[in-house]
Structure 1
Amino acid sequence: MKDKTKYALVTGGSRGIGRAICIQLAKDTDYSILINYNSNEAAANETLDAVKKIGGLGEIIKFDVANPEAVKQQLDAWLNTHENALIEVLINNAGITKDGLFLWMQPNDWDSVIKTSLNGFFNVTNHLIKEMLLNKYGRIINMVSVSGLKGAPGQTNYAAAKGAIIAATKSLAQEIAKKNVTVNAVAPGFIKTDMTNHLDEKELKKLIPVSRFGDAEEVAHLVSFLASKKASYITGEIININGGIYS
């Protein structure tokens, strides 16, 4: 019987931390990288090019994690054309922000953040988890945030979504640990990406004990470790990577 081709799926893998994770996994592992994107196909292809440039294998796949029908349809279609494929690692990275004071927050600003971050975690994980359990091996890594641990003014919606994923991570880990499937969360602080470009780094770094923003590559190294067999005794953990701002 031919060995299955093993994949790592990174949602929101076209830019920022997601892109760094795709590249690091390609460097550190033998996984083919399945790069999910929602709208920016050009950016997804740039990530794919970067993966291939270092000798890795990969593909792009388009779906909105917030849309359960699209998740099911696109993943099923992909699996139908990749009969020998096995998605062994899932990085739930896709997320959006719609920051603003709760007093003025519009329903759509709440709903869209919850649907992408929290419902997105459910939609993709729920669809792929059965195969991991049958295979008796898997790695699920949820990208959360320091905001989900300590809260942040102007981010009630984002903190709510990430805080819920933190609780879900702890619960799901206990359900499936016996099947050799681990579930962990990574909680970055201020990381240099498109999402933080608008922030005043000069002022904010005064609050950070290491006196700087983090790099996406630093987060990616941690994720890559958690995705490896070396991390087999770590599950249900929320690991901070924030320069000491909240530990």
Structure 2
Amino acid sequence: MECVGEATIKDAIHKDTNEEGTNNTYRNELINRRSEQFSYRFLKRFTDICISIVFLLLQAPIIALLAIVIKLDSPGPVLIRQQRIGKNRRRKYKKIEFYDRRASNLHGQPFVMYKFRSMHTTSNLYDVKPASDSDARITRFGRFLRRSCLDEIPQLINVLKGEMSLVGPRPELEFIVRQYNDYQFQRLQVKPGITGLWQLKGSRKKHIHEEVHLDLEYIRKQSLRTDFYILLRTLKFALFLRNF
């Protein structure tokens, strides 16, 4: 009986030791993974701020010129403010008067996104987006803004405020997010971006929520290298006025 007891105790100790070793290994891997994620988020945020500030300072004369042309081209404000849904929030929703109270029930954090106005003021900001540049709602100068992606420049303000990133899934409209399924909600895991894989690899004729697999591909592969690759590709398209 004593021999059996000793063997049982030894086996139990050996088992506990193995389990402890496995747990320690898993714990170390988890710590390393979290450390890598924290480092990436920190560097990504640092990069977002630096690039946004430098771009706004260098392009200030062009931004001023764009604002003047927009005012001369058609009556209305230079900028439009549109409510979009951002990253899945972790803290309690704070009421902001501009936001629709119903947005507090969403999985993502609502925020106000800025863009240069490219459509006539008679157009509904929350209507279905134009299918092409020939849409009557788009102003003459607005066609150029949309083709060159210059209408997105004011979103650098959102980046500086921490509501968006330079690279990430595009922020979606509230009424569309309300129709998301569990698969589509996964795209809200990260901050929305000014550009991303959807703009480079997706079809411009499709809606954002129809290309969720591209957003999830970015989330799985996100790294500074991937971000810079997307930024450089976006810059190339914008400079040559080519459609994504």
TM-score, reference length from structure 1 = 0.30
Between Structure 1 and Structure 2, the one with more strand by share is: 1
The structure that is helix-richer by fraction is 2
TM-score under structure 2 normalisation?
A: 0.30
Larger Rg: 2
